[in-house]
Amino acid sequence: MMNDTDTDIALRLAAWWESNARDLPWRFGRATAWGVLVSEVMSQQTQMSRVVPYWTAWMERWPDARALADAPKAEVITAWGRLGYPRRALRLQECARTVAERYDGELPRTYDELVALPGVGDYTASAVMSFAFGERIAVIDTNIRRVLARAFRGEESLGGSASQVEREMARRLLPESDKVSVVWNQAVMELGATVCMAKAPLCESCPIAGQCAFLRNG
C-alpha cells in the first residue's frame, strides 16, 4: 500500500507524464492491442527513436496477427531491417500464427494466455495487459527497476533478472485504480528512459528529485 510520500511521487509523475510523454504512434489509444505487442517486441534492446519508422511501416503492411501469420518469412526478415536480433521477427510471426489459429486473430486478454504465446515473456505480457487493456498489473523493465531502486531504496538496481525484492516493491507501489496504475507504469518507464538514465541522469530535470532517496543519500 502506498504511503503519503509514495502518493505524492505518483501525482508528480502523472503530471510530468501529461506534459512530457513522447508522442509515439502506439501510445494514447491509437494502436490495437496487437500493435502495442509489436511495439514492445521491436523495442527490446532497441532505442524507441529507431523503432518508430519500422513499426509504422510494419503495421501498414501487416496490421493484424492474421496478416503477419500469412506473410512470407523472407519478407518478414527484410521488413525487420536493422532493428537487430532478427530472431525476434520470426518469433513474432510464430506468435501471430498462434493468435490467428487459437484466438481467431485477437490477442487473449489474460496474463497466463499472453505469456504462453511464442516470444512473449513476463515483461511483454504485463505491458500489453497494462498499456493495451488498461489492467492493473506491475510492469517491470530495466528502466522501471532503475527508477524505483533509486527513488525509493536509494541504491542502484542490479543487472540480470528482477529480484523478488524488486518485484514486491513494484507491486506495492502500484496504484489501486486501473487507470492510474497504467499512467504510473508509463510515467516511471518514461522517466527511466529519458531522465533517470543509467549514465548521466538528468536529475535537475526530474520531477521527483526532491523525494529521491538516491539524491538524499548523496
Is 18 labeled as catalytic in the residue annotation?
no
Residue 26 and residue 42 in contact, taking contact as beta carbons nearer than 8 Å: no
Residue whose entry in the numeric block shows the C-alpha cell 497504467: 182
- Name the percent of the chain in helix, strand, coil, to the closest 5: 60, 0, 40
Residue among 40, 101, 135, 155 flagged as catalytic: 40
Helix (H) or strand (E) holding 45: none
Pairwise CA distance, residues 29 & 52, whole Å? 16
Q: Kindly state the cell numbers that stand for 100.
A: 490467428
Residue 48 and residue 193 in contact, taking contact as beta carbons nearer than 8 Å: yes
Pairwise CA distance, residues 24 & 81, whole Å? 20
Q: Which residues are catalytic?
A: 40
